[in-house]
Structure 1
């Protein structure tokens, strides 16, 4: 996987970082779940770079608290 460079490059724009993290997953894995996992991990990397604590990153509601970063496309259940 080559995920980390994407959110590192786009961390100032979390929406773009999450979107392009998902695209990077599609390149090597065709499954939507893999793309969504990349989007989620991309969001975690961005949040860490923006100074969120370990507790905030591991919060069960991390996705809900950062939902706007994921645009109109929700994560696969």
Structure 2
């Protein structure tokens, strides 16, 4: 898995950010019905994965579907 993550920096960044997001949302896991012991176990396992995942210097940019696109003019209408 590390080889894949080292090859694709965008995927690695997304992967890391998603795991870090889970670590920041303990309340959400509680709302889903997880016990405190389960959450501690989940966080411990996520942290082990994060320790093995290479850090990426690349910054997050908007996905392609979340950018302003200029609509072309068709048949002289706007």
TM-score range (shorter-chain normalised) is 0.3 to 0.5
TM (norm. structure 1) is 0.35
TM (norm. structure 2) is 0.35
Specify which structure has the higher proportion of helix: 1
Higher RCO, 1 or 2 (CA under 8 Å, sep at least 6)?
A: 2
